[in-house]
């Protein structure tokens, strides 16, 4: 069973369960105070505004007790995916390097973006080919990926970047960078490739009625 | 034990873009003010009891390390003053 961890202020938890169901994965919402169920085989930290984004987006949830369980599970190889606020929580909680902070525009942005697949040899991207251009929605005010230059370089050298923001033809340009993220980075993996965070929403691109199914490939990591 | 107030100031590291500060700067310029640059900071005033000022400062520093600042993007400093 995949545990979708709900905090006060999570709002993409039900979308995640429904999208996982669409790819044949059994998922349940788990209230953070209840801890992870014993039969947890994978973890989604969903989008939303946990703790009202107090202090910094994800800062409070990252230090809640359930995240100790999530870190332990991640260390023992359980797949963990942080989406949007879940990505902010993942970086704040040390699951992945870097930080997601205020968009270059200083505004909340809700739009569709193109992403280029940078590494197709991870559980999250195995459904794609390197260089594929996929379309996912974003919806965030604090999605600008920041990281010291040297650390970005090691992420690149270790092939830990999953997706970069690009134009419709797959060109990585400043114009195609919706939030000013360093290196146009939209999603990365942690020390282990079983842990991933991304600001764009694969679970909002999983049902044909909602305009596309490009996101299913990411969710298939849990299948 | 003595009473102290530790003031923790958290600011973005030099070179990290601050879009809210940029927006604020432009608004000040629209109001007719002349300025070169503007930086915003978060300031936390923590009342605490400690054996001495050094211990109070150390505790506040740990608060900054573990929660108040994000070391990836922030620098911080701590000032300790006796509290009445």
* DSSP per residue, B4-29: EEEEEEEEEPTTS--HHHHHHHHHHH
Mutate one of A51, A54, A55, A155 to test the B interface: name it (highest B CB count within 10 A).
A55
The greatest distance separating any two alpha carbons of chain A, rounded to the nearest whole angstrom, comes to: 46
* Contacts with B, A 99-138, CB within 8 Å: 99, 101-106
CA distance B22 to chain A (A): 9
The reply to whether B73 touches chain A by the CB within 8 Å rule is yes
The reply to whether A91 touches chain B by the CB within 8 Å rule is yes
- pLDDT for residue A178: 98
Are B26 and B84 in contact, with CB atoms under 8 Å apart? no
**Contact check, Cβ <8 Å, B72/A91:** yes
The reply to whether B23 touches chain A by the CB within 8 Å rule is yes
Report residues of chain B scoring pLDDT below 50: none
* Least CB–CB distance from B19: residue in A92, A99, A106: A106
Collapsed DSSP state (helix, strand, coil) of residue B84: coil
CATH number for the domain harbouring residue B31: 3.30.1280.10
Collapsed DSSP state (helix, strand, coil) of residue B76: strand
Percent of chain A at pLDDT > 70 equals 100
Closest C-alpha to A97, from A141, A147, A57:
A147
Closest C-alpha to A55, from A88, A77, A29:
A88
Q: Is a pLDDT exceeding 90 seen at residue A75?
A: yes
The reply to whether B15 touches chain A by the CB within 8 Å rule is no
Q: Is a pLDDT exceeding 90 seen at residue A3?
A: yes
- pLDDT level of residue A31 (50, 70, 90 thresholds): very high
Domain containing residue B76? 2-82
Q: Is a pLDDT exceeding 90 seen at residue A198?
A: yes
CA-based nearest residue in chain B for residue A144: B17
CA-based nearest residue in chain A for residue B66: A63
What would the mean pLDDT of A33-54 be, rounded to a whole number?
97
Mutate one of B13, B17, B76 to test the A interface: name it (highest A CB count within 10 A).
B17
Closest C-alpha to A133, from A111, A118, A155:
A118
Mean pLDDT score across all residues of chain A: 97
Q: How many domains does one find in chain B?
A: 1
The reply to whether A144 touches chain B by the CB within 8 Å rule is yes
CA distance B67 to chain A (A): 7
Closest C-alpha to A12, from A111, A107, A87, A99:
A87
The H or E element spanning position B48 is strand B41-50
**Contact check, Cβ <8 Å, A105/B19:** yes
Tens digits of residue pLDDT in B18-42: 999 999 999 999 999 999 999 999 9
Domains contained in chain A, CATH given: 2-222 (3.40.50.880)
Distance between CA A209 and CA A194 in Å, rounded? 29
Helix-strand-coil percent breakdown of chain B, rounded to 5? 35, 35, 30
* Chain B residues close to A97, C-beta within 8 Å: 72
Which residue(s) pair with B80 in the sheet?
A: B6
Active site residue A84: yes
Catalytic one of A32, A114, A140, A201: A201
- pLDDT for residue B84: 84
Strand A161-166 relative to strand A185-189: parallel, antiparallel, unpaired?
antiparallel
* DSSP per residue, chain A: -EEEEE-TTB-SHHHHHHHHHHTT--EEEEEGGG---TT--EEEE--B-GGGG-SSTTHHHHTSTHHHHHHHHHHTT--EEEETHHHHHHHHTTSSSSEEE--TTSS-EEEEEEEEES--SSTTTTTS-TT-EEEEEEEESS-EEE--HHHHHHHHHTT-EEEEEE-TTS---STT-SS--GGGEEEEE-SSTTEEEESS-GGGSS-GGGT--TTHHHHGGG-
Q: Is a pLDDT exceeding 90 seen at residue A211?
A: no
* Contacts with B, A 51-80, CB within 8 Å: 55-56, 59, 63
């Amino acid at each position: 069973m995949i545990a979708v961890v709900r905090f006060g202020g999570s709002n993409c938890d039900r979308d995640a369960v429904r999208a996982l169901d669409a790819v044949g994965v059994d998922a349940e919402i788990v209230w953070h105070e209840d801890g992870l169920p014993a039969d947890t085989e994978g973890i989604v930290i969903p989008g939303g505004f946990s703790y009202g984004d107090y202090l910094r987006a994800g800062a409070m949830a990252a230090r809640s007790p359930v995240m100790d369980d999530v870190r332990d599970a991640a260390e023992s190889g359980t797949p963990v995916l942080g989406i949007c606020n879940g990505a902010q929580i993942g970086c704040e909680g040390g699951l992945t390097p870097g930080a997601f902070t205020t968009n270059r525009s200083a505004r909340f942005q809700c739009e569709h973006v193109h992403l280029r697949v940078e590494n197709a040899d991870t559980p999250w991207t195995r459904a794609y080919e390197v260089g594929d251009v996929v379309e996912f929605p974003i919806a965030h005010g604090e999605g600008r990926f920041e990281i010291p230059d040297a650390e970005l370089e090691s992420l690149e050298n270790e092939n830990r970047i999953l997706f970069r923001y690009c134009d419709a033809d797959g060109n990585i340009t400043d114009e195609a960078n919706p939030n000013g993220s360093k290196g146009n980075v939209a999603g990365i993996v942690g020390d282990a490739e079983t842990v991933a965070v991304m600001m764009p929403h694969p679970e909002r691109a999983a049902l044909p009625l909602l305009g596309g199914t490009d996101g299913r490939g990411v969710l298939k990591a849990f299948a | 034990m003595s009473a102290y107030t530790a003031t923790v100031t958290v600011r973005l590291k030099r070179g990290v873009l601050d879009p809210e500060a940029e927006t604020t700067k432009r608004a000040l310029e629209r109001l007719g003010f002349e300025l070169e640059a503007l930086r915003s900071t978060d300031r936390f005033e923590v009342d605490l009891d400690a054996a001495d000022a050094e211990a109070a400062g150390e505790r506040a520093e740990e608060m900054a390390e573990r929660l108040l600042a994000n070391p990836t993007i922030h620098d911080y400093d701590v000032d300790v003053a006796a509290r009445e």
